Amino acid sequence: MPKIIVEVMPKADLLDPAGKAVANSLQRKGHEAIANVRIGKRIELHYDSTPTEADIAAARAIAADFLSNGVIEDVIDVRVEN
Amino acid sequence: MPKIIVEVMPKADLLDPAGKAVANSLQRKGHEAIANVRIGKRIELHYDSTPTEADIAAARAIAADFLSNGVIEDVIDVRVEN
């Protein structure tokens, strides 16, 4: 099924408490190479047929307006995957 | 900063109520082309230097054992991003 993948991450200059907790836990378990962890969202929009240019433009607007909170998150990627 | 990206999605045969709610809402707003929505996680592991093969193997184990719940989620990708 054709998809548009939207990736949303917490803004780089904001704390990500869940990510920090995971990083601390991994370091305690001996994974010292992992300096930090950030947890974001990966959202799949499924289409019955290959998305048109209009669908992709609409998906970009949906990603910015609806799937992310621009105060605390960045949309880092919107891509088609068939 | 070098990263390993881990992508985790709800298993295909499980309901994803949050994704379903987003899909219904988008369809009500006129986006009929979007047949379904699935919401998963995108986790970045940050490293101070380029991850070694051992780091990547460790990240795969972390993704399976710690960052995902194998009962309801699949790890769909573990990749290095510099």
- Rounded distance between C-alpha atoms, residue B59 and residue B57, angstroms: 5
Does the beta carbon of B34 lie under 8 angstroms from any beta carbon of chain A? Answer: yes
Task: Share the mean pLDDT of chain B.
Answer: 97
pLDDT for B82 equals: 82
CB pairs A-B closer than 8 Å = 90
User: pTM, whole model, 2 decimals?
Assistant: 0.94
Distance from the Cα of A72 to chain B's closest Cα (Å) equals 16
Instruction: Look at B8 and A42 and tell me if their CB atoms are within 8 Å.
Output: yes
Sign of CA dihedral B65, B68, B69, B74: negative
Instruction: Look at B7 and A42 and tell me if their CB atoms are within 8 Å.
Output: yes
pLDDT for A47 equals: 97
* Token pair listed for B80: 């290095």
- Rounded distance between C-alpha atoms, residue A42 and residue A6, angstroms: 6
Which secondary-structure segment (H or E) carries A22? Answer: helix A17-28
Residues of B in contact with A25 (CB under 8 A): 66
Q: What is the mean pLDDT of residues B48-74?
A: 97
Does the beta carbon of B20 lie under 8 angstroms from any beta carbon of chain A? Answer: no
Residues of A in contact with B47 (CB under 8 A): 33-35
Interface predicted TM-score (ipTM): 0.93
- Rounded distance between C-alpha atoms, residue A27 and residue A36, angstroms: 9
Asked if A14 contacts A73 with a C-beta cutoff of 8 angstroms, the reply is: no
pLDDT for A82 equals: 83
Domains in chain A and their CATH numbers?
Answer: 3-81 (3.30.1280.10)
By the 10 Å C-beta count (0-12 exposed, 13-18 middle, 19+ buried), B78 is classed as buried
Confidence of residue B33 (pLDDT cuts 50, 70, 90): very high
Task: Say whether A73 sits in a helix, a strand or coil.
Answer: strand
- β-partners of residue A6 are A43, A78
**pLDDT tens digits, one per residue of A22-44:** 999 999 999 999 999 999 999 99
